[in-house]
Amino acid sequence: MSENIVSKEKASIFQVTKMVLWTMIGIRAQKGYEDDIAKITPKQAIIAGIIGAIIFVFSVISLVNLAINQLS
């Protein structure tokens, strides 16, 4: 019995970041989604998603603080 071992090409940091940003915006083409799923591991997606969420939250907090300071 021969086993077919397929080496999965890992995605670069840029590809993971791009996927997370497009996913957060909600715009994703089916072809791009399929390409990302083939290359990005769940671990990469989870870590990038958490980092992206943290950056988003701090950005919103900073913008709100800036707006409040400008209006006061």
For 53, the domain range is 13-71
pLDDT of residue 54: 96
What is the distance between the alpha carbons of residues 71 and 66, in angstroms, rounded to a whole number?
9
Q: Is residue 8 part of a domain?
A: no
Q: Is residue 35 part of a domain?
A: yes
The gap between the terminal CA atoms of the chain, to the nearest Å, is: 74
pLDDT at position 14 over 60: yes
Q: Is residue 36 part of a domain?
A: yes
Position 29 confidence tier, pLDDT thresholds 50, 70, 90:
confident
Q: How many domains is the chain built from?
A: 1
Mean pLDDT of the residues in the chain: 84
Instruction: Say which residue the tokens 């998603």 belong to.
Output: 49
pLDDT of residue 40: 87
